[in-house]
Amino acid sequence: MSRLLERLLGRLPIGWLQLVHQRGRFAAALSGVAFANVLVFVQLGLMSSMGVSTLRPYQFFQGDILISAADANTLTEGGNVARQWMLQALADPDVVAGMGLFVALVPWDRGETDISLTTFGIDPFRADFLAPEIAADIGVLQVQDAAILDRLARGLTQEEAAAIRLQTPLSFESQGRTLTAYDTFAGGGGFGGDGYLLVSDQTFLSLFPARSSGAPDHILLRLSPGAQPDAVADRLKTLIADPTLRIRSYADAMDEEVRFQQTQRPTGVIFGFGVLIGVLVGIVIVFQVLSADVADHLREYATFKAMGYGQSFFLGVVVEEAVILGMLGFIPGVIAGWGILTLMARVTTLPLFISFGMAVTVFIGTVVFSALSGMIATRRLAAADPADLF
Amino acid sequence: MPDEDFSIQASALNHWFGTGEARKQALFDIDLRIKRGSFVVMVGASGSGKTTLLTLLGCLREIQDGSVILLGKELRHATPAQNVRLRRRLGFIFQAHNLHESLTARQNVLMGLQVKGHIDKTASDRAAAHVLGLLGLADRLDYLPANLSGGQKQRVAIGRAIVGNPDVVLADEPTAALDWDTAANVVDLLKRLGQARGTSTLMVTHDNRILDRADRVLTLEDGRLVGDEDRRA
Ligand SMILES: Nc1ncnc2c1ncn2[C@@H]1O[C@H](COP(=O)(O)OP(=O)(O)OP(=O)(O)O)[C@@H](O)[C@H]1O
Ligand SMILES: [Mg+2]
């Protein structure tokens, strides 16, 4: 290591030698950097899982344009949309099909743990609006009170979920009715609900008698091949000039919801703050360690000054220390962060993991911020006056 | 006027410490020229201004009044960058060794070489080992300062000061921690450097035996140069 650094720097790796000379301080600094890294990784992991889990329900469906109420910031919120708009939209030559989509949370009393499932009511004859995995099984929904259950739902054991088949369905009580799951699909717990449930629109309406078949939560449209969703959305906006509606391409709807969850929702904002705090903790720790190190070596630095070493040399030494701390602290940081996220993922069934891009970003950030706090720490060097040495 | 024959030329040099009521003059009207290659010793009572003069001549302190020409360069009004560059041609030996605790003896000496820019690693390693060998530390090259005696540490510091072949060596009681044989060895080494390379040495010491070996002895008293004795021949 020492030799490699000497090659790299073209001088003695004083920063490195100084760090390893004081092992206690070195270890403390590394754990500090690692700790800051863990904070950042956990928050980033949560943020990105929020993105992933926000998009999860969008992937159950296939559509090009989504018509929602103006206040529908997410798939599960906001008012209804009159079904008549779907018929209006179908007048556009590029719109080939439409489907109403109902959404609500369905509680499931499971004794010890009550869970709630984000439940979609769909037209069981419109397999073309569903992702292939689900589309194949949608036929069972034609039976009243039939359901397709999320096998990754929180609170559902793997054995329990695996046992669900047409021959051995799972029945449960909700909203005063008995629902029967004949099949499963892969959803997963999110931040809003513990999992997902698919039922027919008829079953949905009998679960929620107050809702009307003429007013679904969203309208999903499919376009003719080659049509531009954005262009059609713009056309539909002039065709249906109703300010209480939100007409967007399906892709835009996904982007907008992720942005909304991460910047408008308290949870999203808190995760963002967590990242900030992690970065600050890291900066403060590296600064503390390096400025204490500079203070401890003031006489030696003053001697180097007397010998003719300039500011750039000292900056180089301290930044060398900072970069080493950043790089070496990152390793335990990423390992611990990965471990904690894996554990959290197991408990919460959220898609928590460290992506390669995330790791690279955090690594670069760690090194850059360490170097910055190292630069600040060199300010103490001004106190090293070589005239005081004699 | 810069003169090639002299490493140091000071004229009408005054220096004060403090401001206002507390302002106190430490040096008075010093005129001094030190020949290239000479070994000059400075003596004087405590507080007479020896260290102050050394820091002024070594461009570690700003010249307030008068003139110092060091190696042909006027120090009055010199920029910090000019001072830094000039210091690379000097060798300082302080009373305290000030070795870097995490560097070995050899690495500490290398610091005196590296300041001059990048030098081939094998060559600089050999130069450092050579100097330490001259100082009787050939078997201590890879020792950390914590594992060296006081005298050994001081010799490493001397090695660090001379490894880069300085034009001027400024030393403040460098032999205090050394026994006489070692001190004599160091003095001889500095005198040999003077003859071979024209290195001038200005050394503050109270050791009479070193005085006997000096080319010239300067005496300071209350900030004034009161004695200047040629000891050659
Ligand atoms: N940094 C300083 N601030 C204020 N006064 C100083 C400072 N350095 C030295 N002096 C004063 O200047 C005078 C000369 O001090 P200097 O250190 O040069 O003496 P010296 O001959 O080296 O003494 P010693 O033999 O004790 O080392 C003394 O009166 C001292 O108190
Ligand atoms: Mg003194």
pLDDT tens across A220-244, in order? Answer: 999 999 999 999 999 999 988 888 9
Whether A80 is covered by a domain: the verdict is: yes
Q: Does residue A145 share a domain with residue A42?
A: no
Whether A251 is covered by a domain: the verdict is: no
Q: Does residue A74 share a domain with residue A21?
A: no
Going by C-alpha positions, the residue among A243, A63, A211 that lies closest to residue A135 is A63
Q: Does residue A209 share a domain with residue A331?
A: no
Question: In what helix (H) or strand (E) does residue B126 lie, and over which residues does it extend?
Answer: helix B121-134
pLDDT digits (tens, 9 = 90+) for A51-96: 888 999 999 999 999 999 999 999 998 899 999 999 999 999 999 9
User: Going along chain A, which residue ranges are E strands?
Assistant: 65-69, 95-110, 113-122, 146-150, 170-174, 177-185, 195-200, 218-223, 245-249
Beta carbons of B16 and B194 less than 8 angstroms apart: no
- Ligand 1 pocket test: pick from B13, B16, B51 the residue with the most ligand atoms within 8 Å of its Cβ: B51
C-alpha to C-alpha distance for A135 and B65, rounded to whole angstroms: 94
Whether A236 is covered by a domain: the verdict is: no
Whether A218 is covered by a domain: the verdict is: yes
* Cβ-based contacts of B81 with chain A (< 8 Å): 310
**Chain B: nearest CA to A3, how far in angstroms?**
11
**Nearest chain B alpha carbon to A297:** B100
Residue A380 pLDDT? 86
Q: With a cut of 80, say whether residue A322 has pLDDT above it.
A: yes
Amino acid at B88: R
Q: Does residue A69 share a domain with residue A149?
A: yes
From first to last of its 233 residues, chain B has per-residue pLDDT tens of 556 789 999 999 999 999 988 999 999 999 999 999 999 999 999 999 999 999 999 999 999 999 999 999 999 989 999 999 999 999 999 988 999 999 999 999 999 999 988 778 899 999 999 999 999 999 999 999 999 999 999 999 999 999 999 999 999 999 888 899 999 999 999 999 999 999 999 999 988 889 999 999 999 999 999 999 998 76
Number of C-beta neighbours around residue A119 at 10 A: 28
- pTM greater than the 0.90 cutoff: no
- Mean pLDDT value across chain A: 92
B180 C-alpha to center of ligand 2: Å? Answer: 21
Q: Which of A194, A226, A258 is the last residue of a domain?
A: A226
- Ligand 1 pocket test: pick from B28, B30, B50, B224 the residue with the most ligand atoms within 8 Å of its Cβ: B50
Q: What is the dihedral angle through the alpha carbons of A50, A52, A58, A64, rounded to the nearest 10 degrees?
A: 110
pLDDT digits (tens, 9 = 90+) for A149-197: 999 998 888 898 899 988 999 999 888 899 999 999 999 888 888 999 9
Phi, psi angle pair for B149, to nearest 5°: -75, 170
Whether A232 is covered by a domain: the verdict is: no
Whether A255 is covered by a domain: the verdict is: no
Q: Does residue A183 share a domain with residue A315?
A: no
Q: Which of A195, A226, A257 is the last residue of a domain?
A: A226
Lining ligand 1 with CB less than 6 A are B 17-18, 26, 44, 46-52
Q: Does residue A220 share a domain with residue A75?
A: yes
Q: Does residue A143 share a domain with residue A22?
A: no
Going by C-alpha positions, the residue among B213, B207, B202, B123 that lies closest to residue B161 is B202
Report CB contact under 8 Å: A390, B88.
no
User: CA B131 → CA A198, B108, B148, B183, distances in Å?
Assistant: 84, 12, 17, 15
Report CB contact under 8 Å: A308, B101.
no
Q: Does residue A204 share a domain with residue A87?
A: yes
Q: How many domains does chain A have?
A: 2
Residue of A10, A12, A22 with shortest CB distance to B103 = A12
Q: Does residue A218 share a domain with residue A85?
A: yes
Report CB contact under 8 Å: A308, B88.
yes
Whether A49 is covered by a domain: the verdict is: yes
Enumerate residues 6+ apart whose C-beta is below 8 A from B47: none
Residue-number span of the structural domain to which A107 is assigned: 65-226
Q: Does residue A372 share a domain with residue A278?
A: yes
What is the token pair recorded at A134?
A: 């689900």
C-alpha to C-alpha distance for A75 and A219, rounded to whole angstroms: 11
Instruction: Please tell me the total number of residues recorded for chain B in this structure.
Output: 233
C-alpha to C-alpha distance for A79 and A103, rounded to whole angstroms: 11
Q: Does residue A220 share a domain with residue A72?
A: yes
Enumerate residues 6+ apart whose C-beta is below 8 A from A290: A318, A321, A322, A325, A373, A374, A377
**Chain B: nearest CA to A307, how far in angstroms?**
6
Report CB contact under 8 Å: B88, A389.
no
Whether A74 is covered by a domain: the verdict is: yes
Q: Does residue A332 share a domain with residue A219?
A: no
A11 forms beta bridges with: none
Sheet arrangement for strand B65-70: B24-35, B6-17, B65-70, B73-74
